[in-house]
Amino acid sequence: MSDRNPSPAGGPLVEGPRDPEHDATASYALEPEYAESLTRRLLATTGETVEVRSPLNGAPLAHVPQSSADDVAQAFARARKAQQAWSRVSLDDRAACLLRLHDLILDRQDEIIDMIVLESGKARKHAFDEPLHVALTARYYARTAHQHLDTQRKLGVVPGLTRVEVNRVPKGVVGIISPWNYPFTMALCDGLPALLAGNAVVAKPDAQTMLSALLGAQLMEEAGFPADLWTVVAGPGADIGPEMISRADYICFTGSTATGKLIAKGCAERLIGCSLELGGKNPILVLRDADLEKAAEGAVRASFSNAGQLCVSMERMFVADQVYDRFVERFVARTEAMTLGASLDWGVDMGSLISQAQLDTVVRHVDDAVAKGARVLTGGRARPDLGPYFYEPTILEGVTPDMTCFGDETFGPVIALYRFHDEADAVARANAGQYGLNASIYSRDGARARAIARYVKCGTVNINEAFGATFASIDSPMGGMRESGMGRRQGSEGIHRYTESQSVATQRLIRFAPMLGMSDATYAKVMTANLRLMKKLGRA
């Protein structure tokens, strides 16, 4: 929740008087000095600020300074200078910074989690996923740095006489535009491999969760990354995004499909690369041989983690006829047993939505479905008694194509159930629509489930798990097919996207032209014979 405020950064609230003992919005949820220690990291000189409030209770968190086009230009100028020096730092020294960051994040995870909960409203157990994921990412890339980035020998055209090496050269300055739903991990995890590869980063986190991203930037500096190597700017995406695209050597974006298409067009105009993790309408398939208790437990996490505000969370569930009723009984019971609350403490199963706009979308989707005949098995209500943007975890049945939530992404705690009899039909229905980010299959037969996964048009598929198995396995790529995005984070693809491959070939003794008075025709015959010989020898 944010509102524009003309007062200077960290300025006092002008409304009141109010009693903080009875009104959470009457005083800051964070110490102003602490918040200001983070916001002054921004490169922002406009004098304009945005007041950010916690979705838990409306309490103000900070006034966030806003950046201008000139500030973005300055950020890239500083980043380019820092990158030139950083690219000459040894790979081992870069990796050492990541390992120090790993330890700092684990040591200060309580501070990080508190900030995430205050800014996003999510339950503490879901906020914990964020420092965990960033630490995993930092450690993975530090330990595999040489595997991904060392110069590699390749086959030369003439064995023994042609030596070919491929270098991984940094792009330069990477622009990262990150979302609000996972404000710490999405702000950092994509940028860490960019730094390891020798790049600098200019980051624009979402306005609603700027402080979590700034805390991450502070920790990186404490871990030893040089000043200006990771610069943060703030402002509306429509204003700041084009300025970043016009200057970056690569853009990494996580967010809506509509915005992703605009970014792809801007990058295409400049012939620079981009990676885009976009929307999803992710399916779960519960097969007839599934462990129903395991499937019901996983379905709760798949549907309601972070109140459904997770790109890889599930909004469509296809359940085999043979187990449908028994599964639904278990799923509804587990959902109704969930605890909801606005708290920094452990023990809450689901927190708040991020904003009024997000709540409005959820209400509109559910009300539309009910008005057109869908049945609410549980949930279906806003809970203003808990906080301004709470909505109950909701299970719908009887959702049809004329309902908005059938094909449009809700991005909230709402899932629709569908029966199926034939597994091929279930896969076809799971593949329907334009998205293809994440899927989940529950079956006691892992080999059969993995075989089915090959026909599911999603970038990641989890077997007997909601999303954590793929998302936390940093060695494997993660991203979307179709309108769920392009490019991949994690694994070798997640770091190679920030590099240019450079082939260097050294030739000895012979040249690729006629020698010793040989005619062109004779040279052609000699080369043809050589090609036939190489095939007989089994050479690639």
Which residues carry out catalysis? 277, 311
**CA 319/CA 415 separation, integer angstroms:** 13
Q: Nearest CA to 205 among 312, 64, 57, 48?
A: 64
> What crossing angle do the helices spanning 124-143 and 109-120 adopt, rounded to 10°?
130
In this structure, the number of other CB atoms found within 10 A of the CB of residue 536 comes to 7
Residue by residue, what is the 3-state secondary structure of 240-253? HHHHHHCCCCEEEE
**Which residues are CB-neighbours of 462 under 8 A, at least 6 positions away?**
438, 439, 440, 441, 468, 469, 470
Q: Is the dihedral of CA 328, 432, 413, 460 positive or negative?
A: positive
Which ranges in 150-307 belong to alpha helices (H)? Answer: 185-188, 191-196, 210-222, 237-245, 257-270, 292-304
Which ranges in 122-173 belong to alpha helices (H)? Answer: 124-143, 145-149
Radius of gyration, alpha carbons of the chain: 26
**CA 127/CA 65 separation, integer angstroms:** 25
DSSP symbol at 425: H
**Consecutive H or E run containing 485:** strand 485-486
Q: Is the dihedral of CA 393, 397, 402, 407 positive or negative?
A: positive
First vs last C-alpha separation in the chain: 59
435 torsion bin: left (phi>0), alpha (psi -120 to 50), beta (else): beta
**CA 102/CA 138 separation, integer angstroms:** 6
Bond into 384 cis (ω within 30)? no
**Consecutive H or E run containing 453:** helix 446-453
Amino acid identity for residue 100 in this structure: R
User: With the CA atoms of 481, 485, 487 and 491 taken in that order, what torsion angle do they form, in degrees rounded to the nearest 10?
Assistant: -70
**CA 39/CA 8 separation, integer angstroms:** 12
* 8 Å CB contact between 98 and 196: yes
**CA 306/CA 413 separation, integer angstroms:** 8
